[in-house]
């Protein structure tokens, strides 16, 4: 059995092929980084046009690398939301066309479910598990009880962590995308030089807030009378990253208590999404898991950022449960993961 996955929800055009054993036979990702870098962020219209220009080539390359053709595919899965709707439409329509022509099932995958289940492509993580899903557009903690079965324990009330990293990088003139650049700068920084807040730390729920932290970074920058030096950038980056890690640790500590009460025998903590590539966050979660006698798992870095292998993997899991979609499925710009079964 071969599953073709297609991802086009933001600024990566991707296609991948996996088999029934979840082996990744090919994974092709074309990034639009250069197209958006000069704008300091993703421009939706440019992204949609780029997806349209590249999608056929990327799908063909994925099939070629897997050593198969369209006639060998048993199902096609596409990220059908949430995301930039222009790009989502490109991927979904391509997948529908392939499904219709080859008379195979079409599977509409929630992009966030792709991230949530990506770890199961590489590790024997069983349901239920506790998930920190953190990316440029999302930051939430969920109990993953099964395919399409999620309970939200907390989420961001304003900006996502990845968005905060990008905006801090922009304020520091580090470049785009911001996450890896802030992390790199932080390696040589002194986090104690600047005192930054820990929004919502100590609060009884599991929610996040990063807007005020960004504002505090801006104030720290404005407090410097001269032009930013490399040392200033490194110190602010280190202080910001440590604040994010501290907040995430506090929120996850509360989430672990809730999760353990709901599922006393479960012991898996998973991180997913683009920000999951951050080593400081991974290290904190590893330590937190050990403190609570739990197991920490994370996808490899190439499965943290947007890719189509995770879409194919989620598609395979849904196909095995008979969860396929009609060709009149409507792409969704907004699609909360904990409503993954609701199609409106």
Residues 219-241: what's their mean pLDDT?
A: 96
> For a pLDDT cut of 90, what percent of the chain falls above it?
88
What superfamily in CATH does domain 2-117+303-339 come from? ATPase, nucleotide binding domain (3.30.420.40)
Angstrom CA distances, 156 to 139, 174, 248, 277, 333, stand at: 6, 25, 11, 19, 18
Q: What is the pLDDT of residues 66-88, one digit of tens each?
A: 999 999 999 999 999 999 999 99
Q: How confident is the model at residue 226 (pLDDT cuts 50, 70, 90)?
A: confident
Query: pLDDT tens-digit profile of 271-299?
Result: 999 899 999 999 999 999 999 999 999 99
User: What distance in Å separates the CA atoms of residue 199 and residue 120, rounded to the nearest whole number?
Assistant: 32
What average pLDDT does the structure give for the chain? 94
Per domain, the residue ranges of the chain are 2-117+303-339, 128-298
Residue 299 phi/psi, 5-degree rounding, is -65, 155
Going by CATH, does the domain composed of 128-298 fall within 3.30.420.40?
yes
Equal CATH topology for 2-117+303-339 and 128-298: yes
pLDDT at 25: 98
Q: Compute the Cα dihedral for 137, 30, 1, 328 and give only its sign.
A: positive
Locate 20 and state its tokens: 């029934």
pLDDT tops 60 at residue 344: no
How would residue 339 be classed by pLDDT, with cut points 50, 70 and 90?
Answer: low
State how far Cα 321 lies from the chain centre. Answer: 24
Mean pLDDT of 14-18: 98
**pLDDT on residue 155:** 95
- The predicted model gives 236-246 an average pLDDT of 98
pLDDT value of position 16: 98
Q: Which pLDDT does position 342 carry in this prediction?
A: 44
pLDDT over 70 (residue 116)? yes
The residue to which tokens 């421009």 are assigned: 43
User: In the structure, what pLDDT confidence band is assigned to residue 336 with cuts at 50, 70 and 90?
Assistant: confident
């Amino acid at each position: 059995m071969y599953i073709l996955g297609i991802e086009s929800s933001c600024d990566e055009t991707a296609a991948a092929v996996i088999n029934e054993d979840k082996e990744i036979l090919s994974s092709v990702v074309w990034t639009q980084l250069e197209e958006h870098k000069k704008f300091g962020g993703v421009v939706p219209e440019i992204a949609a046009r780029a997806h349209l220009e590249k999608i056929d080539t990327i799908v063909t390359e994925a099939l070629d690398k897997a050593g198969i053709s369209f006639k060998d595919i048993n199902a096609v899965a596409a990220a059908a939301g949430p995301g930039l709707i222009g790009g989502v439409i490109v991927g979904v329509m391509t997948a529908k066309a392939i499904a219709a022509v080859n008379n195979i099932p079409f599977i509409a995958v929630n992009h966030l479910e792709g991230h949530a289940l990506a770890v199961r492509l590489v590790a024997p993580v069983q349901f239920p598990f506790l998930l920190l899903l953190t990316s440029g557009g999302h930051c939430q903690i969920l109990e993953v009880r099964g395919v399409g079965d999620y309970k939200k324990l907390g989420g961001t009330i304003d900006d996502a962590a990845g968005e905060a990293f990008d905006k801090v990088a922009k304020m520091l003139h580090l470049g785009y995308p911001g996450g890896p650049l802030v992390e790199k700068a932080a390696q040589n920084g002194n986090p104690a030089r600047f005192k930054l807040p820990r929004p919502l730390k100590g609060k009884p729920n599991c929610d996040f807030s990063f807007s005020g932290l960004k504002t505090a970074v801006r104030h720290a920058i404005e407090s410097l009378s001269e032009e930013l030096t490399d040392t200033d950038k490194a110190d602010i980056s280190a202080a910001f990253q440590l604040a994010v890690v501290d907040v995430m640790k506090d929120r996850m500590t509360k989430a672990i208590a809730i999760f353990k009460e709901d599922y006393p025998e479960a012991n898996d903590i998973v991180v997913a999404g683009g920000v999951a590539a951050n080593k400081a966050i991974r290290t904190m979660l590893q330590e937190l898991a050990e403190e609570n006698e739990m197991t920490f798992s994370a996808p490899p870095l190439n499965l943290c950022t947007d890719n189509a292998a995770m879409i194919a993997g989620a598609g395979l899991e849904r196909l095995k449960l008979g969860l396929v979609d009609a060709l009149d499925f409507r792409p969704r710009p907004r699609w909360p993961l904990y409503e993954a079964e609701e199609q409106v």
